[in-house]
Structures are given as C-alpha cells and as structure tokens.
Amino acid sequence: MNNDTVSHSTIVYKDFICIAGNGAVINRDDYMKGWAHGYDALLYKSFVMRNELIRIMGNTALVRAETFYTYTDNGKEVSGTTVYTDTYIKLDGRWWCIQAQLTPKN
C-alpha cells in the first residue's frame, strides 16, 4: 500500500464516490486527496487484505475484501477491521471504479 495517486487515479472514475465507514459520502477529489496522504508507511504498522472476492457480471464487477490494520493517530495506536466493496464498470474496454463502500467490523 502506498500513496501512489497517479496510478490509483487511472482506475477511479470521474464521478466516483466513496461511502466511508461513518456514512460520509466522499467525492472523487476529496477521496484522492485522502489517498495522497492517508497511507503513510510511517504511520501504518500493518495493513493486510484477506478474503478477497471478485464477481464479474457483464460490464459490472464487485470487488470485496476485508482489511486488517494498525496505525498511529496522534501517538495512539489504532487497530481495526473493515469490509469494503468496490463497484467497477467497464466502459470502452476499460474498467473503472465508480463507488467504494467501507464498513467497520469492530
């Protein structure tokens, strides 16, 4: 995991939204700003993805997985688990992520 917004932006659709674990709806610009600084290796002790499942139905795909993480926030260690689902569509031969939804498990 890194803060590579250049590579990540090649799959994030122009009208992308993310529904955060607290219910906030985040537009593409704000999501990409968060991606640019949100996964600093100096803050994360661990970030593991498990139980990945990809389902393709025509020009739509659902990507689901669990993330297990530990990071430092203002000197305090935070650990948790999140289940996420990313929705992709295929347009003109390219896959684009149009929505992400994060659900905390703990």
pLDDT at 47: 83
Residue corresponding to tokens 């896959």: 95
pLDDT tens for 50-59 read 999 999 999 9
Residues of the chain under the 50 pLDDT cut: none
Q: What single letter denotes the amino acid at residue 58? A: G
Distance spanning both ends of the chain, measured CA to CA: 22
pLDDT at 1: 56
Nearest to 35 by CA among 5, 10, 73: 5
Please report the domains of the chain, with CATH numbers, ordered by start residue: 5-104 (3.10.450.50)
- Total-model pTM: 0.84
pLDDT at 60: 99
